[in-house]
């Protein structure tokens, strides 16, 4: 598209820093970013690749929902520890989507420690 990726990431980072305290705005902003990303993928990928990407995304969302349901079984303090552990895991994996899931066993281990 002719946009330098580092420039785009830098601008997104500025929005995040500037409005980090406005949760509603940030949620809507990231929903918009996700829709834009999907539109770009639909335009650039062939139909089979796009369908595969959609399927993988739905599978990831299902896993994340299961993880959230598992987390809600614990008290707020434990949930905070779980989320902090997940954040560190994502950062160390350079935000690879596979790192965005914790198994029930991993969650249990985090809470016990």
Does pTM surpass 0.75? Answer: no
Q: Please state the three-class secondary structure of 35-54 as a single string.
A: HHHHHHHHHHCCHHHHHHHH
Q: Both ends of the chain: CA-CA distance in Å?
A: 47
Same domain, 101 and 66: yes
Same domain, 67 and 104: yes
Q: Which two tokens stand for residue 27?
A: 């949620």
Give the model's confidence band at 1: pLDDT under 50 very low, under 70 low, under 90 confident, else very high: low
Mean pLDDT of 83-106: 88
Which residue segment(s) compose the domain that 7 sits in?
1-44
> Do the domain assignments include residue 49?
no
Domains held by the chain: number: 2
pLDDT for the residue numbered 63: 93
> Do the domain assignments include residue 94?
yes
Q: How confident is the prediction for the chain on average, in pLDDT?
A: 87
Same domain, 35 and 63: no
Give φ, ψ of 38 to 5 degrees: -65, -40
User: Which of 2-6, 32-36, 77-81 is modeled with the greatest confidence?
Assistant: 77-81
- Under a CB-based contact definition with an 8 Å cutoff, are residues 53 and 41 in contact? yes
Same domain, 33 and 84: no
Same domain, 72 and 94: yes
> Do the domain assignments include residue 52?
no
The Cβ of residue 86 has, within 10 Å, a number of other Cβ atoms equal to 19
Q: What tens digit of pLDDT does each residue of 43-88 get?
A: 999 999 999 999 999 999 999 999 999 999 999 999 999 999 998 9
The Cβ of residue 95 has, within 10 Å, a number of other Cβ atoms equal to 9
Q: What tens digit of pLDDT does each residue of 37-55 get?
A: 888 899 999 999 999 999 9
Same domain, 64 and 101: yes
> Do the domain assignments include residue 113?
yes
Same domain, 62 and 94: yes
Same domain, 76 and 36: no
Same domain, 23 and 64: no
pLDDT for the residue numbered 20: 80
Q: Which residue has the higher pLDDT, 50 or 16?
A: 50
């Amino acid at each position: 598209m002719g946009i330098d990726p580092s420039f785009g990431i830098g601008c997104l980072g500025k929005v995040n820093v500037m409005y980090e305290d406005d949760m509603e705005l940030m949620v809507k902003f990231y929903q918009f970013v996700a829709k834009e990303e999907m539109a770009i993928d639909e335009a650039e990928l062939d139909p089979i690749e796009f369908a595969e990407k959609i399927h993988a995304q739905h599978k990831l969302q299902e896993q994340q929902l299961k993880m959230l349901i598992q987390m809600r079984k614990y008290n707020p303090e434990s949930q905070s520890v779980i989320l902090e552990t997940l954040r560190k895991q994502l950062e160390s994996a350079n935000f690879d989507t596979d790192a965005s899931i914790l198994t029930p066993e991993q969650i249990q281990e985090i809470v016990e420690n």
